[in-house]
């Protein structure tokens, strides 16, 4: 017999929304299971059942903002400690990219429950995603198929064997890393494409092959790139853009 699971958990597994959103949609009566409205928290389903969202839930999700920022060095992407400078403080009308083509009007409500979808170290710069959309947060924080591309300024000598290890042969914390795409970008810069995002992964990988990292800049997450977004500025994710 197929084991049942909580409806909210199944909705999250299917990428329909975050767990918090699922509970909210269920309470609002915006969720149907096999065509029947389910509005009781804790309800359970089996994987074979069809789950759909009412139009109200879809409209609610469409209003959730996702912001792309070119985070400077010195700003923290996640929870801030005393003395830290949180990246979200850079989001204001005067720092919005003048070439933002989203057509979205900047509203104060877009700052509510805005959370980083993944980390970017305080001493790294580049593309940072902050979102109110639980679907995007889940995808970027748990989907191994989402690539992240970086340009990494380094010092030191990298042998052919070291390059081979960077691409497919290193372990961190006694756990094997997934294959990585690493190549020379210039005489003193490497291009990294990762499918996982462990704490300080690139810096630790470089240390293992004798390289010192001078700087890291994230250029791309999935199919969304930093492009010409200036340092310290931000724009909205456009409707047609997908990670």
Q: Rounded mean pLDDT of 46-71?
A: 87
Contact 81, 242 (CB under 8 A): no
Tell me, yes or no, whether 243 lies in a domain.
Answer: no
Same domain, 231 and 121: yes
Query: In a 3-state reduction of DSSP, which class is residue 128?
Result: strand
Q: Which domain holds residue 178?
A: 148-221
CATH number at residue 96: 3.30.70.580
Tell me, yes or no, whether 90 lies in a domain.
Answer: yes
Tell me, yes or no, whether 44 lies in a domain.
Answer: yes
Q: Which is nearest to 104 in space by CA: 240, 239, 242, 205?
A: 239
Tell me, yes or no, whether 185 lies in a domain.
Answer: yes
CATH number at residue 38: 3.10.290.10
- Total domains in the fold of the chain: 3
Same domain, 27 and 82: no
CA 187, CA 62: separation in Å to the nearest integer? 44
Same domain, 56 and 71: no
As a whole number, the mean pLDDT across the chain is: 91
CB-count burial class (<10 Å; 0-12, 13-18, 19+) for 211: buried
CATH number at residue 203: 3.30.2350.10
CA 192, CA 126: separation in Å to the nearest integer? 14
**83: confidence class by pLDDT, cuts 50, 70, 90:** confident
pLDDT at res. 98: 95
Catalytic (active site) residue 121: yes
- Residue appearing with tokens 């400690």: 81
Q: Is the per-residue pLDDT at 62 higher than 80?
A: no
Tell me, yes or no, whether 100 lies in a domain.
Answer: yes
Same domain, 161 and 97: no
Q: Rounded mean pLDDT of 38-65?
A: 86
pLDDT at res. 1: 63
Same domain, 76 and 139: yes
Q: Rounded mean pLDDT of 65-81?
A: 93
Q: 201-242, pLDDT tens digit by residue? A: 999 999 999 999 999 999 999 999 999 999 999 999 998 898
E-only strand ranges, 115-211: 115-116, 125-131, 148-155, 171-172, 175-176, 181-186, 189-194
- Residue appearing with tokens 């830290």: 84
Catalytic residue selected from 23, 84, 121, 145: 121
């Amino acid at each position: 017999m197929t084991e049942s699971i909580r409806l909210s958990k199944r909705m999250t597994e299917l990428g329909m929304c975050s767990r918090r959103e699922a509970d909210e949609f269920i309470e609002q009566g915006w969720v149907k299971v096999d065509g029947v409205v389910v509005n009781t928290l804790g309800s359970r389903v089996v994987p074979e059942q069809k789950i759909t969202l009412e139009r109200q839930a879809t409209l609610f999700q469409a209003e959730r903002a996702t912001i792309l920022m070119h985070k400077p060095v010195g700003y923290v992407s996640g929870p801030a400690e005393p003395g830290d400078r949180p990246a979200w403080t850079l989001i204001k009308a005067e720092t919005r990219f003048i070439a933002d083509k989203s057509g979205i009007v900047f509203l104060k409500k877009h700052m509510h429950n805005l959370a980083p979808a993944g980390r970017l170290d305080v001493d790294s710069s580049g593309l940072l995603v902050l979102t109110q959309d639980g679907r995007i947060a889940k995808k970027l924080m748990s989907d191994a198929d989402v690539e992240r591309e970086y340009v990494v300024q380094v010092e030191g000598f990298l042998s052919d064997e070291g390059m081979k290890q960077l691409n497919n042969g290193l372990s961190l914390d006694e756990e094997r890393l997934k294959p990585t795409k690493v190549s020379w970008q210039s005489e003193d810069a490497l291009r990294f494409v990762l499918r996982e995002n462990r704490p300080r992964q690139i810096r630790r990988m470089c240390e293992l092959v004798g390289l010192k990292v001078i700087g890291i800049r994230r250029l791309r997450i999935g199919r969304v790139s930093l492009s010409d977004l200036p340092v310290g500025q931000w724009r909205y994710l456009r409707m047609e853009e997908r990670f």
